Amino acid sequence: MPELPEVEAIARTLRPLVRGQTIRRCQVLHSIAVRPQSPAELRRGAEGQRIEGVERRGKYLLWRLGRGCLLMHFKLDGQLIWFDKPETQGHIDVALQLNAGTLGFVDRRHFGRVRWRAHPDESPEIRALGVDPISPRFTPAQLQALLSAARRPVKLLLMDQTRIAGLGNIYSNEVLWHARLDPRRRADRLTSREARRLHKAIVNVLRRALKYCLHPAPNFRDPAWWFQGLEKILRVYGREGEACRRCAGRIRRIEQGGRTSYFCPGCQR
């Protein structure tokens, strides 16, 4: 699932490709992808609009249009595929026909969503988001305040988009491994030293992943590409039973809040 680094890489790569172009046609081929809006609502909002910019908000991709915006959320398997011709062949959920080609929003599992909103920064999805962890506004003091106010396990706080926007399950696991913290620790019980370590881990893990996502840059023309090979930078996620890369302990897997946590009981305390 694309998290902050992946969506940021998509936004930065897509921006120069589409900025200044007009959405000539917006075809909704699978209406589930635009729910709860109607295909007509999305079409009315998007067609004929000039693309002013592409940005990221949390894990959302935000297309600023002449009037209003498009919000895309990739969820588990959503992806963007670029076609040089007007294209609606194969599985495409929403096809945006631009001057230079067609961009398809594709999600065979149909969890991903595309939505039109009249006021980008006033839309409920965006207003609900917490601080962006790669913005300068995300300081150790701010993280400390978030931790102090949360009685939940620290892993669940990290994944709460209304507190910190953009961290998902994979990078939360990675961050806690780098910070040497047990995901089950209660957030408000971390010491200030641990909180500073956690802040540093969040920023470093996301920056490193973003760099990796941009080199090489996303290739929207190759449907098989979509962030393949990213597991190379992961230290703990998906490694149950394997040796910890730091202390050679065994990586454990547990369930937390309906999601899977991986950690090393040997060095994450």
Q: State the chain's maximal CA–CA distance in angstroms.
A: 58
Residue 124, C-beta contacts closer than 8 angstroms, at least 6 positions apart: none
* Amino acid present at 148: S
Q: Which is nearer to Zn ion, 48 or 266 (CB)?
A: 266
User: Of residues 83-102, which lie at the interface with Zn ion (CB under 5 A)?
Assistant: none
CA separation for the pair 106, 98 (Å, rounded)? 16
3-state DSSP assignment of residue 7: helix
Distance of closest approach, residue 212 Cβ to Zn ion, in angstroms: 22
Q: Which is nearer to Zn ion, 202 or 244 (CB)?
A: 244
Distance of closest approach, residue 233 Cβ to Zn ion, in angstroms: 17
3-state DSSP assignment of residue 30: coil
C-beta separation of 131 from 145 below 8 A: no
Q: Which is nearer to Zn ion, 164 or 236 (CB)?
A: 236
Active-site positions read 2-3, 59, 259
Distance of closest approach, residue 234 Cβ to Zn ion, in angstroms: 14
Interface residue with Zn ion among 95, 170, 195, 264 (CB under 5 A) is 264
C-beta separation of 134 from 203 below 8 A: yes
CA separation for the pair 171, 227 (Å, rounded)? 14
C-beta separation of 151 from 158 below 8 A: no
**CB atoms inside a 10 Å sphere around CB 17:** 15
Q: Which is nearer to Zn ion, 32 or 247 (CB)?
A: 247
Work out whether 266 is an interface residue with Zn ion (CB under 5 A). yes
User: Of residues 203-262, which lie at the interface with Zn ion (CB under 5 A)?
Assistant: 244, 246-247, 249
Count the site residues for Zn ion by CB under 5 A: 7
Q: Which is nearer to Zn ion, 76 or 247 (CB)?
A: 247
Distance of closest approach, residue 180 Cβ to Zn ion, in angstroms: 8
Distance of closest approach, residue 244 Cβ to Zn ion, in angstroms: 3
Residue (of 7, 36, 49) closest to 124 by Cα position: 36
Q: How far is CA 17 from CA 13, 68, 81, 103, 197, in A?
A: 7, 20, 13, 11, 38
Q: What are phi and psi of 153, to 5 degrees?
A: -60, 140
> Contact residues for Zn ion (CB under 5 A)?
244, 246-247, 249, 264, 266-267
